[in-house]
Amino acid sequence: FVGCQRGKRAVALDLKSEAARPAVEALLRWADVVHHNLRVPAARRLGLDEQAVRAVNPDVVFCHTSSYGPDGARANWPGYDQLFQSSLGWEQMGGGEGNPPMWHRFGFMDHQCALSSAAATLWAVLARDRTGRASSVAASLLGAGVLTTSETYLQPDGALAPVPMLDQAQLTTTPGRRLLACAQGWVAMAATADSDVAAACRALGCGSAAQLAAAAAVRPAGEVLDLLAGAGVAAEEVRLDQRDAFFDSADNDAAGLIARYRHHDWGGFEQPGALWDLGDLTTQLHLPPPVLGEHTIEVLTEVGIARETIDELIAAGAATAVPPPGLRA
């Protein structure tokens, strides 16, 4: 949660409480976009399905993300990142030739789905601004995950076109695309053409790609990197302790790759910075990840709820708010 929610304000309402419904509807009337990943039956019970939302605000852009897509027998099924790594073949591919499947801990199916839904939502906002018509969009873990398999295709006989396979040691897919274990550290090398492979062999003083691993094993990673750079071969050090190195880098700081702010509970707080370069527009990274209900009073006031009503919601347990950091018990 903390990794993905910076830049947002947090309002905490009990959506099952009738007392909270006026506040929910005030937020819906205020919103340009409603975006959620609740399963449709649950959203319907909570009054957050598209029909209920549009009854309150017909001009809203509505985005729903699901596991298997909006239609079909599995439309309301639950799903998690790992399931789609499995069903799309990534756990088998990531294990390496002859090895059992491997779970990639990084949730790239989740990220693909989120990014695709954000793109679709922004397109819908632009379309509404141009045409005056609000629309609905959707994304799914399965749909976005399928895009990650686009390096292959179905041949006329129904078989998948072959792609480079990770070897059993999980170090290489092709002779020039590999990890090299050095005397001190590791190097990732991406020699994509035969000429690059030949250049890497000359740089490391070996006669063939089969000897690259042995040639790197007797040299420190820094030396291997220098030799490959001199030969024009793309390579990078494999970072084994990157957290402090990343945040301590003056170059990363100057490039805007480090964000700093005050977190409600933890005080001084650092995260990776701007992911986009928008030319002459400044990327705003001024709000830290919120804690539950950190902005309930602030936002509900903005959308026209009286402070007395907000206090009543909090007292009844229909809303949650946290006091400013200096007032916390």
Could you give the percent of the chain with pLDDT greater than 90?
A: 87
Residue 217 has what pLDDT? 97
d(CA 165, CA 93): 7
Sign of CA dihedral 243, 247, 252, 255: positive
30 & 62 share domain: yes
Point out the domain boundary residue: 119, 136, 165: 165
- Is residue 295 assigned to a domain? no
Residue 215 has what pLDDT? 97
38 & 135 share domain: yes
Average the pLDDT over 156-160 and give the result.
Answer: 94
d(CA 249, CA 254): 9
Q: Edge-to-edge, what's the strand order for the sheet holding 234-237? A: 172-174, 177-181, 186-190, 234-237
Query: Whole-angstrom distance between the N-terminal and C-terminal Cα of the chain?
Result: 24
pLDDT band for position 325 (cuts 50, 70, 90): low
- What SS3 class is residue 84? helix
143 & 33 share domain: yes
| Residue 328 pLDDT greater than 80, yes or no | no
Domain CATH for 141: 3.40.50.10540
| Residue 329 pLDDT greater than 80, yes or no | no
Q: What are the E-state strand segments in the chain? A: 12-13, 33-36, 61-66, 136-140, 172-174, 177-181, 186-190, 234-237, 258-263, 267-272, 319-320
pTM of the entire predicted model: 0.86
Q: Is 84 or 323 the better-scoring residue by pLDDT?
A: 84
48 & 120 share domain: yes
| Residue 327 pLDDT greater than 80, yes or no | no
Please give the mean pLDDT across all residues of the chain: 93
What would the pLDDT profile of 229-260 be if each residue is shown by its tens digit? Answer: 999 999 999 998 888 889 999 999 998 899 99
Residue among 29, 88, 74 nearest 56 (CA)? 29
87 & 197 share domain: no
Average the pLDDT over 284-296 and give the result.
Answer: 92
63 & 95 share domain: yes
- Domains in the chain, number: 2
Residue 133 has what pLDDT? 95
Domain of 48 in residue numbering reads as: 14-165
- Is residue 305 assigned to a domain? no
